[in-house]
């Protein structure tokens, strides 16, 4: 099978670099070129201390064709550096469309991971799970997200439990059905801004790796724990609100110390 996301990240430190490119924050007449050089330098400098690199698709899509081309080059560069990749696209649609989304990410880039939205149910997610199994990938299902408005739906009472715990029950069943050593092909997105939910969901999802966003700019505090991949975007890619390689290295070291307990 070649590259395998689950086994790769299990052997690495639990910090994930989130890449949310903002060309306006890069100086000079060619901001995309500056952005690309900066991203390459940062990934190389941090490579030994990261679990993965997470590319937020919306920021690349906003740049049109140039953004898509940049995304492909950076994903390829991450793999050359030996870094696992998370495609943060939050895909979710009916089965035939899901198959196309899975081909464009998990199967185009074997050994990578993809974030998905479970709202359409299990039949819409099955193509992603199948593609992950074929390609050595992993699917992170949104369970409890880091944004304040997540409570609007995710905390609704669903037969005596919040809805996110009901979602977790289904994710747990999928995780059992799609095993991969030492975890599963099915993981969960669990916002670090909700520490109580983080603990409850670990008990509910013993086989699932967690992608934990919210570190830094959203105010989440790093909490050591098995199977948690903590993602930092703005605070790590743009420390202080600008591209700064030295500051990013210092911030990464601080996060690693905190996550080491």
**Using CA atoms, how far apart are residues 22 and 211, in angstroms rounded to an integer?**
23
* Catalytic site includes residue 54: no
Helix or strand holding residue 232 (H, E) = strand 228-232
The DSSP 8-state label assigned to residue 222 in this structure reads P
Helix or strand holding residue 249 (H, E) = helix 245-259
Strands 52-56 and 186-190: unpaired
Single out the catalytic residue among 90, 166, 202, 223.
90
**Using CA atoms, how far apart are residues 213 and 174, in angstroms rounded to an integer?**
22
59-85 exposure pattern, b = at least 16 Cβ within 10 A, e = fewer: bbeebeeebeebbeebbebbbeeebbb
Using an 8 Å Cβ cutoff, are 5 and 178 in contact?
Answer: no
Strands 179-180 and 183-184: antiparallel
175-191 exposure pattern, b = at least 16 Cβ within 10 A, e = fewer: beebebeebbbbbbbbb
Helix axes 163-177, 195-204, angle to 10 degrees: 40
**Residues labelled catalytic:** 90
């Amino acid at each position: 099978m070649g590259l395998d996301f689950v086994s790769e990240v299990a052997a690495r430190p639990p910090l994930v670099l989130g890449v949310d490119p903002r060309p306006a924050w890069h100086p000079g007449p060619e901001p995309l070129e500056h952005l690309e050089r900066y991203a390459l330098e940062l990934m190389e400098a941090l490579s030994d201390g990261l679990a993965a690199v997470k590319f937020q698709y919306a920021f690349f899509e906003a740049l049109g064709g140039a953004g898509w081309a940049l995304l492909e080059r950076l994903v390829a560069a991450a793999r050359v550096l030996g870094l696992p990749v998370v495609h943060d696209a939050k895909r979710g649609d009916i089965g035939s469309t899901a198959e196309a989304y899975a081909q464009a990410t998990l199967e185009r880039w074997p050994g990578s991971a993809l974030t998905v939205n479970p709202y359409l149910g299990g039949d819409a997610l099955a193509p992603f799970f199948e593609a992950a199994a074929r390609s050595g990938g992993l699917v992170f299902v949104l369970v409890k997200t880091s944004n304040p408005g997540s409570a609007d739906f995710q905390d609704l009472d669903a037969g005596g439990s919040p809805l996110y715990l009901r979602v977790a029950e289904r994710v747990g069943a999928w995780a059992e059905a799609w095993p991969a050593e030492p975890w599963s092909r099915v993981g969960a997105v669990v916002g670090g801004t909700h520490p109580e939910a983080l603990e409850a969901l670990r008990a509910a999802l013993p086989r699932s790796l967690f992608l934990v966003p919210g570190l830094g700019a959203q105010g989440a505090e790093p909490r050591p724990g098995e199977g948690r991949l903590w993602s930092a975007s703005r605070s790590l890619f743009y420390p202080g609100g600008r591209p700064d390689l030295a500051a990013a290295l210092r911030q990464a070291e601080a996060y690693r110390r905190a996550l080491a307990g």
